[in-house]
Amino acid sequence: MRIIFVVFLLLSFVKAEDFITKMEYAKMLYSNPRGIGCNKCHGEQGNGEIIAKYKNKGKKIVLKAPSINSISFSVFDQALKKTHKVMPTYFLTENEIEILYFYVTSEANK
Ligand code: HEC
């Protein structure tokens, strides 16, 4: 009897996962895109953030992640497919890139 209950419980978790909204999924992916979260550098709303400030040979350097919530889809898409100096390379599917774009540009996120 107990095993049936456990199976039922597991099944209901699987089912529950079907019901997360697109927005919830998008937010999850933004903070955990199989690697360091986009939010860590670009901020929760994708407004861009200062990552670090340091001095190099007496010069003050400010390392900043740009705002990514008002750029076109093609710029967004291309940026995620190339390698960068600071930003890590991700291996996202086309669908994941679209969902991330939906997230950062959506009004609900602002
Ligand atoms: C370690 C910090 C860091 C993380 C994490 C990070 N980025 Fe970036 N991102 C940057 C920096 C810095 C740039 C500026 C360009 C560069 O590094 O070449 C950038 C550039 C971009 C651009 C190009 C913007 C433009 O106007 O051309 C996009 C789009 C972008 N990031 C999206 C993302 C997304 C989506 C994620 C998560 C999957 C992410 N970034 C994770 C630091 C980060």
Per-residue model confidence as pLDDT tens digits over 35-70: 999 999 999 999 999 999 999 999 999 999 999 999
Ligand 1 nearest-atom number relative to CA 71: 26
Residue 88 has pLDDT above 80, yes or no: yes
Q: What is the pLDDT of residue 9?
A: 65
Q: What is the pLDDT of residue 11?
A: 67
Angstrom distance (rounded) from CA 96 to CA 99: 5
Q: How far is the CA of 87 from the centre of ligand 1 (A)?
A: 5
- Structure tokens, 30: 């933004």
Angstrom distance (rounded) from CA 33 to CA 57: 35
Angstrom distance (rounded) from CA 79 to CA 86: 12
The gap from C-alpha 82 to its chain's centroid, in whole angstroms, comes to 16
Residue 15 has pLDDT above 90, yes or no: no
Pocket perturbation via mutation, ligand 1, pick of 29, 36, 41 by most ligand atoms within 8 A of CB: 41
Ligand 1 nearest-atom number relative to CA 101: 35
Confidence of residue 32 (pLDDT cuts 50, 70, 90): very high
Q: What is the mean pLDDT of residues 73-87?
A: 96
